[in-house]
Chain A
């Protein structure tokens, strides 16, 4: 089945130790998103890729970086995790193509729960 896969599902890292979360998709969607979600709050968009074009949200800290080496994979790098970065990180994709841009729903992965010790 086509899907969005996130690895690992649970990640524990130490304060200040770089960590990378990964996302892969078999949907061949051209848009990929990274969200941060805390304590059943609304997901907060960190950034997204439209094909290879990177779009950073204005309030996303510099501590968060992303890479998309190809259509299928996208990575979230947290360079120096702080205690406040503990959260669920959600990857999502959407087709967004053509003149009906924005009409397509997002497909979410199961998330990676990050703990910072």
Chain B
């Protein structure tokens, strides 16, 4: 069965520093991987995805993520954090060739400190 893990409940980063939000996954086949962000009292907003091709994926608001097949990871990164990046981040995985279900991680709350 497919699963996704976000090992950190919360990440604190000083403004201007690089940030990383971790995600690891488990699928039986090849994965489709997604990152979403959620601001308070809002729905989830798509940031980026890995389907195939280049392992480094660039997305919205300066975020990027690197697909690492050997480590089954898809960590979200940004070179320089902004206070406005403070939000709840969800990693999600879909098992290619399986049903339409997408599995979300439990979320990581990112705090950017001014």
Contacts and interface: CB of A to CB of B under 8 A. Distances in A.
Contacts of A103: 32, 49, 51
Contact of B107 (A40, A50, A106, A113): A40
B46 A102 contact: no
Interface residues of B, number: 25
Contacts, number: 61
A105 B92 CA distance: 10
Contacts of B43: 4, 6, 90-92, 108-111
User: What is the size category of the interface that chain A forms with chain B?
Assistant: 20 to 34
Q: Which 10 A-B pairs rank lowest in CB-CB distance, beginning with the nearest?
A: A108-B43, A42-B104, A105-B46, A108-B44, A103-B51, A102-B94, A42-B106, A110-B43, A111-B43, A109-B43
23 contacts: A6-B43, A40-B38, A40-B88, A40-B109, A41-B106, A41-B107, A42-B106, A42-B107, A50-B100, A90-B43, A100-B51, A101-B100, A102-B32, A102-B96, A102-B100, A102-B102, A105-B34, A105-B46, A106-B34, A108-B36, A110-B42, A111-B41, A113-B41
